[in-house]
């Protein structure tokens, strides 16, 4: 794999860490800035909405830029946003800084995945995208726990200083190792917008939303579910989350290789597995060992879909790779919010935590149906059409 892919993975690690580490720092942030825990929790929501809204906006802004220049500017915004987080004097400034940081998220992953796929032969493009997204999974496995520990030991601002430093290293790496051809490759805004007329593309984006909703309907409430239903201690939940992170990483790598083999088969297999494992977890969650085993397999199946879904939208929107890749990142975040809301409704309506996995299973089945519908718009599996 080209060194540029490793730099893209480092960039993804930094962005993923800053997105999720705030959840581990909420008590410190709330106490320091004088807000409630739920109030501090809006920092998570603000970031997600910043990604969903900022993704198409930044995609259009950067559409006529060379891809390398776009990635450098987006990483600079990321660095500035984290710097402002570290320096925030009050809650409002921190929220604004989080939103600024989120603006780069969708466009960076969208353009970055197109660049990653263009760096390797066609039969390895999904694996290249998977390698970039490995940085995101490692952010959950390493970045979040280490960032949380640093914030607890040296104050929550120290975590954002550390992420800022990682961002600077990523920026230098992008500037030094991205191929010169990325200085010349640009998107045609008119062709990008024309590509949005493809009905199959919107079905593919809908598939991403439903997949992400299926994952986050369960993942959002995994901590209280493990604690109240399975009976795992708070320290045990930490190890459970680490096990899930390892499953996510394994699934991401395997998913890239499977998508290089057969895209449709991979997506259908993943969604069927998610539906089955989510349903199974509704019963295995009552015992520790079966619950942990099911969650590991569920996590592997979940992230096996990520590179395939990214390649899927680029294939259906081949005339607008930058824009549709970025829209897909927004679709992931929209699905995150939708899944969390659906899981909350299940709990609020009195069905209980143990029924949340069943709601996730239903969403996975809907994602499978959307995949079948999207592929019926083509006579064969879509092929990537990236500029070499």
Q: Residue 139 domain-assigned?
A: yes
d(CA 40, CA 204): 34
Q: Which of 96, 62, 250, 76 is nearest to 167 (CA)?
A: 76
Domain end (from 128, 159, 186): 186
Q: Are residues 28 and 149 in the same domain?
A: yes
Q: Are residues 141 and 32 in the same domain?
A: yes
Q: Are residues 55 and 10 in the same domain?
A: yes
Q: Are residues 33 and 169 in the same domain?
A: yes
Domain end (from 147, 164, 186): 186
Q: Are residues 176 and 198 in the same domain?
A: no
Q: What are the start-end ranges of the H helices in the chain?
A: 3-20, 22-33, 37-61, 67-87, 91-118, 125-138, 144-154, 156-177, 189-195, 199-219, 222-225, 234-261, 263-284, 288-316, 321-348, 356-375
Give the range of the structural domain holding residue 149, as residue numbers without chain letter: 3-186
CATH classification at residue 88: 1.20.1250.20
Interval 81-112: pLDDT, tens: 999 999 999 999 999 999 999 988 888 988 88
- The total number of structural domains in the chain stands at 2
Q: Are residues 144 and 202 in the same domain?
A: no
User: Please, which pLDDT band fits residue 27 given cuts at 50, 70 and 90?
Assistant: confident
Q: Are residues 55 and 179 in the same domain?
A: yes
Query: Which whole number is the average pLDDT over 148-170?
Result: 92
Q: Are residues 75 and 218 in the same domain?
A: no
Q: Residue 274 domain-assigned?
A: yes
Interval 32-61: pLDDT, tens: 999 876 677 778 778 878 887 887 788 778
């Amino acid at each position: 794999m080209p060194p540029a892919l490793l730099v893209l993975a480092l960039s993804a690690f930094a962005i993923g860490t800053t997105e999720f580490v705030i959840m581990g720092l909420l008590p410190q942030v709330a106490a320091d800035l004088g807000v409630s825990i739920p109030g501090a929790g809006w920092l998570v929501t603000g970031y997600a909405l910043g990604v969903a809204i900022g993704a198409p906006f930044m995609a259009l802004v950067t559409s006529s830029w060379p891809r390398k220049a776009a990635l450098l500017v987006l990483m600079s915004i990321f660095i500035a946003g984290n710097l402002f987080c570290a320096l925030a004097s009050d809650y409002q400034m921190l929220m604004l800084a989080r939103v600024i940081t989120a603006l780069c998220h969708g466009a960076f992953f969208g353009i970055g995945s197109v660049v990653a796929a263009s760096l390797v032969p066609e039969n390895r493009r999904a694996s290249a995208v998977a390698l970039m997204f490995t940085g995101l999974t490692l952010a959950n496995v390493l970045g979040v726990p280490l960032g949380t520990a640093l914030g607890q030991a040296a104050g929550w601002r120290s975590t954002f200083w550390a992420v800022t430093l990682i961002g600077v290293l990523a920026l230098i790496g992008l500037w030094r190792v991205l191929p010169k051809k990325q200085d010349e490759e640009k998107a045609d805004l008119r062709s990008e917008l024309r590509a949005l007329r493809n009905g199959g593309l919107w079905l593919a984006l809908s598939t991403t939303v439903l997949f992400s909703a299926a994952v986050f309907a369960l993942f959002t409430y995994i901590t209280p579910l493990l604690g109240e239903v399975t009976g795992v201690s708070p320290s045990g939940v930490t190890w459970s989350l680490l096990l899930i992170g390892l499953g996510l990483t394994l699934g991401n790598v395997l998913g890239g290789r499977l998508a290089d083999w057969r895209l449709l088969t991979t997506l259908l297999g993943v969604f069927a597995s998610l539906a089955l494992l989510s349903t199974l977890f509704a019963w295995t969650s009552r015992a520790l060992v079966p619950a942990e085993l099911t969650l590991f397999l569920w996590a592997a199946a979940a992230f096996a879909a990520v590179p395939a879904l990214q390649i899927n939208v680029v294939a259906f929107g081949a005339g607008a790779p930058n824009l549709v890749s970025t829209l897909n990142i927004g679709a992931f975040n929209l699905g995150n919010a939708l899944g969390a809301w659906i899981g909350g409704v299940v709990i609020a309506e009195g069905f209980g935590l143990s029924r949340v996995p069943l709601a996730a299973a239903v969403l996975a089945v809907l994602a499978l149906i959307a995949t079948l519908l999207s592929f019926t718009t083509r006579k064969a599996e879509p092929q990537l059409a990236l500029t070499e």
